[in-house]
Amino acid sequence: MPWNTGVPKSKKSKMRNWPRTQENDPYSFASAEISEALSNQTGYPVSVGYNEFCSPSLDEAFAAAMIMNPEKIIVITPMMTRGGEHSEKDIPEAIKRAKKKNPKIEFAYVWPFDMKEIATFLVEQLKRYF
């Protein structure tokens, strides 16, 4: 069951729009850091959207991206392994809602990741400690 089932809309909004700092929400700051690095390395604009707790929501992030009238929106998650409800259910559902609003825009969901490529990435991180 989603975290916000039965929570009044005003409380959801307050939670999503709570003033975030590096100290009280390192996840949102790390997400922004990854977003900036992805944009710098690809040369494309990168937006962050959240499943819960933070703003913008995925729907809001997609709406903002669609204003730029792109041919394609590529969606990626930092969740690497299968088995998570967000990457397997919530994100695809948000993509379907966005596609329905603007069927001319192509959406690509870069997930699930190849497990061998994840292992290679993790081995590279481990090598620092060998």
The pLDDT, as a whole number, for residue 86 is 96
SS (H, E, C) 5-53: CCCCHHHHHHHHCCCCCCCCCHHHHHHHHHHHHHHHHHCCCCCCCECCC
Q: How confident is the model at residue 16 (pLDDT cuts 50, 70, 90)?
A: confident
| CATH code of the domain in which 52 resides | 3.40.50
Would you say residue 2 lies in a domain? no
Residue 3 lies in a domain: no
SS3 of 76, please? strand
CA distance 57 to 94: 9
For residue 76, give both structure tokens: 């990626």
| Mean of per-residue pLDDT scores for the chain | 93
Cis before 2 (ω within 30)? no
Q: Give bridge partners of residue 106 from the DSSP assignment.
A: 72
Residue 87 within a domain: yes
Q: Is residue 4 part of a domain?
A: no
**Residue 40 falls within a domain, yes or no?**
yes
Q: Is the pLDDT of residue 4 over 60?
A: no
Query: What single-letter amino acid sits at 84?
Result: G
Q: How many domains, the chain?
A: 1
Question: pLDDT (tens digit, 9 = 90+) per residue, 25-76?
Answer: 999 999 999 999 999 999 999 999 999 889 999 999 999 999 999 999 999 9
Q: Structure pTM?
A: 0.86
Whether residue 117 lies inside any domain: the answer is yes
Domain that holds residue 41: 9-129
Residue-wise pLDDT for 67-118, tens only, equals: 999 999 999 999 999 999 999 999 999 999 999 999 999 999 999 999 999 9
Look up residue 82 and give its DSSP letter: S
Question: 29 is written with which tokens?
Answer: 């700051």
